[in-house]
Amino acid sequence: MKTVIQRVSSASVTIDSKVVADIQKGLLVLVGIEDADNQEDIDWLAAKIANIRIFGDENGVMNLSVKESNGDVIVVSQFTLHANTKKGNRPSYIKASKPDVAIPLYESFVKCLEKQLGKKVQTGVFGADMKVSLLNDGPVTILIDSKNKE
């Protein structure tokens, strides 16, 4: 699983002019799923995201997690994170899982993250044409790949 984690002052997801997710301080998590992903990837990634210390403490030092800072989270499916741009100018998405594989993994990831956080996680709608708005705080943007646990 590949993720882009953005610390936000606010974020929202709109589909067909209807807001389906809306948070203030927290994380916007874009997640891309491939066929090789499994529950081990989900568990590791959910724990990493819930506990990564990228929020400021009382001294403004990044020492707090989203959980410790009582932030909220939106998770949005993003198959384009698996774009292969090696040849030509048209990206290939061959590594991105098809919906029959990706949807159960995506739903499991959201549930696992909710368990880690002890609260509801908001989401976009898998496969929908979404308009994602965010006010990146910092900016703080981190890429995490469960296949590259360095």
Residues designated as active site: 80
Q: Report which of 10, 1, 12 is spatially closest to residue 106, judged by C-alpha positions.
A: 1
Q: One-letter amino acid identity for 114?
A: E
Q: Return the closest-CA partner of residue 46 out of 127, 105, 97, 104.
A: 105
How far apart, in whole angstroms, are the C-alpha atoms of residue 140 and residue 99?
A: 30
- Could you give the CA distance from residue 79 to residue 60 in angstroms, rounded to a whole number? 34
Residue count of the chain: 150
The dihedral built from the CA positions of residue 63, 66, 68 and 70, taken in this order, carries a sign that is: positive
